Amino acid sequence: MGVLQLIVSGLANGCVYGLIAMGFVLIYKATEAVNFAQGDFMMLGAFICLGLTNPQFMDLPFWVSVPIAIAIMGAFGYALDLVVLRRMFGQSQIAIVILTIALGFVLRFFAGVMWGHEPISLASPIAGRDVRFGGVVLGLDEVMVIAVTIVLTLLLWLYFNRTKLGVAMQASSQNQLAAYYMGIPVKRVHSLIWALSGMVAAVAGILFASKGSIDPSIGLLGIKAFAAAVIGGFGSLPGALLGGIIVGLIEPFSGRYMPSGYSQIMPYLLLFLILIFRPHGILAQVHAKKV
């Protein structure tokens, strides 16, 4: 595998990590909670899309299944906040962290019951197809992952900076009480953030499944994505994407040029160094909250 192919492969994986990391950041920015089930949201979104395309279930076309799966994950995120997380209001952040960790175990269990624990491939029209740039052959699935991530990141940036609801979400994250007094429906905003996080996770899951097989254990990629969010700067959407790309690039290059097994530990070694020398991440966002 040439250097360019290593870069593209690393960027594609890094974009998936970055999208999962964005889900962490979205929820943290709005609620100051950390959703350790974000990777399992990604896994569930991928399996929902797979189920919709499965001939034994609904047998829908891939391009019809994708928006349906994204909408289902959005509804799941909204309902989760509405039914469960609002009951945790006033509890410590540790309690919410433990709840989301438990939720991850539950989601992986039910995914295993419904779809089994053996790897399954998503019938994607972009899987197994190649594109050529000069003398370099690249996978269409990897190119598509990078392109979709760039577009989605731009759309999220526009949403948070150019729409009233996006600005309301930022205001809620700055000071919930002040936002409430200004007429912002804080609880509804929180539910919408969880819905948006679920939708982003579904996109990440579908993109990941388009590159290869999936099983319930892929939800554990959330741990690596959390490391990426911290590396990039927890609380920063661009930082989440940057951290994901860095982690994604470290893996193939360390696997190619370092002894066997080092590719798995390198992201966490980088996390260790970042926490020592730049605790707030590469794109740190440390601001005093505005009232």
Tens of pLDDT, residues 184-241: 888 888 899 999 999 999 999 999 998 888 999 999 999 999 999 999 988 788 889 9
Look at residue 243 in the predicted model and tell me its pLDDT: 94
The residue-averaged pLDDT of 236-257 equals 90
Q: Is 268 a residue whose pLDDT tops 60?
A: yes
Look at residue 211 in the predicted model and tell me its pLDDT: 84
Look at residue 41 in the predicted model and tell me its pLDDT: 97
The whole-model pTM stands at 0.90
Look at residue 273 in the predicted model and tell me its pLDDT: 94
Q: Is 288 a residue whose pLDDT tops 80?
A: no
Look at residue 289 in the predicted model and tell me its pLDDT: 44
The residue-averaged pLDDT of 123-139 equals 75
Look at residue 1 in the predicted model and tell me its pLDDT: 55
Tokens 């290059």 appear where? 253
Q: Label residue 287 by pLDDT band (50, 70, 90).
A: very low
The residue-averaged pLDDT of 146-170 equals 86
Q: Considering only residues 152 and 1, tell me which one the structure prediction assigns the higher pLDDT.
A: 152
Look at residue 134 in the predicted model and tell me its pLDDT: 65
Q: CB under 8 Å, gap of 24 or more: what pairs does 61-65 form?
A: 62/123, 62/124, 62/125, 63/125
Say if strands 120-121 and 213-214 run parallel, antiparallel, or are unpaired: antiparallel
Look at residue 217 in the predicted model and tell me its pLDDT: 93
Give dist(CA 283, CA 139) in Å, integer. Answer: 31
Q: Label residue 290 by pLDDT band (50, 70, 90).
A: very low
Q: Chain-wide mean pLDDT for the chain?
A: 87
The answer to whether the beta carbons of residues 68 and 60 sit under 8 Å apart is yes
Quote the DSSP letter at residue 163: S
